[in-house]
Structures are given as C-alpha cells and as structure tokens.
Amino acid sequence: MASIKEAKKKVLVVDDEEVIRDILKRYLEREKFQVTTAKSGEDALRELEKEVFDVALIDLKLPDMSGIELIEKMKYIAPHLIYIMMTGFPTIKLAVKAIQNGAYDFITKPFILEEIKMVINKAFTQQELQDENIKLREINKRLVEIERIKSEVVNTISHEFKTPLTILRGYLTMLKEGTLGTIEGKAKECVEDMLKSAMLLEKLVNNLITLNFSFKKKLFLNKQAVNLEELILEIIKEMYERIKDKKLNLIREFKEGGLLINADKSKLKIALSNLLDNAIKFNRVGGKIILKTKLAGDYVNVIFEDTGIGFPLAEKEKLLKPFSQEDMSITRAFNGLGIGLPVSKTIIEAHGGEFDITLNKEGGTRVQITLPIN
C-alpha cells in the first residue's frame, strides 16, 4: 500500500476549452499528478462533491460563471484547496481580485507548461510550510498551557503545605526540647524522626516555591545585612543530627568574626541549605565536608567540598536543570526531586553572584558560589 507521501497529488483542471483541458491533463499526468477535468463551474462543483483535490487550475472566464465566482462557491466545499487562476486577459485589477478571493497565484495564457508545474509545486511547498507552522503553533500553545497548569499546581500545593508544616514543625520542636512536657525513650526518638521529616518536607516546599517564582521570573529579593558565618552555623545546627548519624567530619574554615553581606537571608538560607544537604546526602559514611569562606575583593566565595560519590563531568549541565536527578525511581538510593542545585544556582545568580560545580581532588563534589558583599 502506498504511503501518504507516495500518493499522487490530485489536480482539478477547470476550463471550457477542450484543447487546454487535454494538454494540461496529459502534461500533469506525465509529471505524476492525478488529473480530473471539468468544462464549467457546475461540472467542477460536482467533481468536488465526489472527490478531494489538492489543487484547482481555474479559467477566469467560464460559460456559466466567472472563475472568481467559482472559487467563492468552492471554498465552502473545500476551504483548504489551492486555487490557481488562468486567464487570457490579464490585468492587475483582475489579479488582485482573484487573490483577494482566495486564489494562490495567477497564470496568463498562453502559458508555458513548465510554468504551470513550477507554480503548483511552489503552492504545495507553501501549503506544507503553513501546515507545519499551524502544527508548531498548536504544539507551542499546548506546551505553554501545560507549563501554566504545572506552575499553578506547584504554587497552590506548595502554599497549602506551608502553614500546616510551620505548625507541625513548631510543635515537634517544642516536644523535642521539653517545652510541652518531658518525653523519653522511644517517644523522644519518634518525635526527633518526625521533626527531621518535617524539616525535609519544608525544604522541599521552599525549593518548589522558589523554583516556581524563578519560572515566572518573579523571584524578588528582600535584601538586608546578613552575617554569612552565623547563617551557615544556623544551617549546620539544623542538620547536625544528620551529620552525626552519618559520622561525617565537618571542617569549617571561616573568616574570623564573620562577614556581613547584603542579601535576602531567607532565600540565601534555602540556597546554602541545599548545598549542605547534598554534601551530606551524597557523602559516604565517615566522610568529610569542608566549608570555606574567602574574600575576593568586593566578593566573597563560599565553598562546599565533600568526599562523596561525585558525578560524571559530562552530566554537569544536566545537574543544574530541575528534576534531573539521574535515578528518579521510587527505589532510588537517594531521595529528592533533583531541584536543589538548580534552585541554589537561581538564588545565587539573582543576587548577582556566580555558581560553579566541579569535582574535588578527593573525588567528591566541590561547589563554589561567589556573592557580592554589597
């Protein structure tokens, strides 16, 4: 069976002169077109009711109606048909009128047969391009709509999670610290595990909200003076239990007395938390994490080094794209959605900083961020 591409294009020739019809039929069939002829407008309309054509060659002057009138009637039956007008009385006015009424092009008699073929092929090419453009516009429209829906869903879910998580974490913290009464043994262990889970879920929600704002290019910064060392120590304190559970050796190399920078504290905390979280998550048991801050003129470098599993250098660009963790199956070794690094990079760049990830000398991962002090 012939494919759609192999099928012959169908041409309808409408002319009251039998010689013209015969010449065009013989020539176009030789050029691999399937040709049907009609001697009047009514004949053409009857043929159009019976069969689907790709192109119609129509004489301007027919015995029962003009070619322009015929095009008007044919458009109701076959709106996608390509119409080419033929006439022995060419005028600019007639040409313009024919094209305004739906004709693709205008050919004058006596014509050269090669010219007919050229105009038909040109019309088919243009029609194919138009069809492709329509398809691409439709695909693009659907993609934009999918992105809008996805963004709204992420935004709604994230914000709906925010309040209950805040309440949950608050009460669990008070239970752990004994503010609501003393708990011991297994009950205390359960509360500590629940608090860890609540904190991980809160981190995920914060990342999703930040990512959603970055997609919409609405990531606003509320800058203030931030003590960088104190902020990092605050993050370490929140993750201390995980560091201890994995028996990691955390080495801090900070500037004496801390360093004040102008930044959005809450968003910078999200960025730095993601980087320390990765250094813990992808590290080996008993491994090492080194945190450094270094002044570089009007900038400060913050460096996270670990002795974990590292990553293939060829995958570097992929790591910085959302939802790109190599193994996203439910049985994967490491949890997460693969959005930590992209979110951190977005936040750092929003501050006018730079973000770089590479392998360190011991085979783990080294992330360096550069932030302007002011």
- Express as a percent the part of the chain with pLDDT over 70: 86
Tens digits of per-residue pLDDT, 22-35?
Answer: 998 999 888 888 89
Continuous H helices in 6-54: 18-30, 41-50
Report pLDDT for 159: 67
* pLDDT score of 155 more than 70: no
Residue among 122, 140, 120 at smallest CA distance from 35: 120
- Express as a percent the part of the chain with pLDDT over 90: 17
Average pLDDT over residues 100-117: 78
- For residues 228 and 235, give the distance between their C-alpha atoms in angstroms, rounded to a whole number: 11
Average pLDDT over residues 224-244: 90
All structural domains of the chain, each given as residue ranges with its CATH number in brackets, are 10-111 (3.40.50.2300), 220-374 (3.30.565.10)
Tens digits of per-residue pLDDT, 292-307?
Answer: 888 888 899 999 999 9
Report pLDDT for 329: 40
- For residues 142 and 358, give the distance between their C-alpha atoms in angstroms, rounded to a whole number: 37
- Find the radius of gyration of the CA atoms of the chain: 36
Which residues lie closer than 8 Å to 321 by C-beta, 6 or more apart?
342
Residue among 283, 302, 284 at smallest CA distance from 367: 302
* pLDDT score of 327 more than 80: no
| Average confidence score pLDDT of the chain | 81
355 close to 345: Cβ distance less than 8 angstroms? yes
Looking only at the bridges linking them, the beta strands covering 354-359 and 299-306 are unpaired
* pLDDT score of 370 more than 80: yes
* pLDDT score of 111 more than 80: no
Tens digits of per-residue pLDDT, 169-202?
Answer: 788 888 888 888 788 888 888 888 888 777 777 7
pLDDT band per the 50, 70, 90 thresholds, residue 114: confident
- Look up the pTM and report it: 0.52
* pLDDT score of 287 more than 50: yes
Q: Which of 118-132, 203-217, 236-250 has the lowest mean pLDDT?
A: 203-217
Report pLDDT for 151: 67
Report pLDDT for 38: 92
- For residues 295 and 280, give the distance between their C-alpha atoms in angstroms, rounded to a whole number: 25
Give the torsion through C-alpha atoms of 173, 176, 182, 186, to 10 deg.
Answer: 140
Report pLDDT for 214: 61
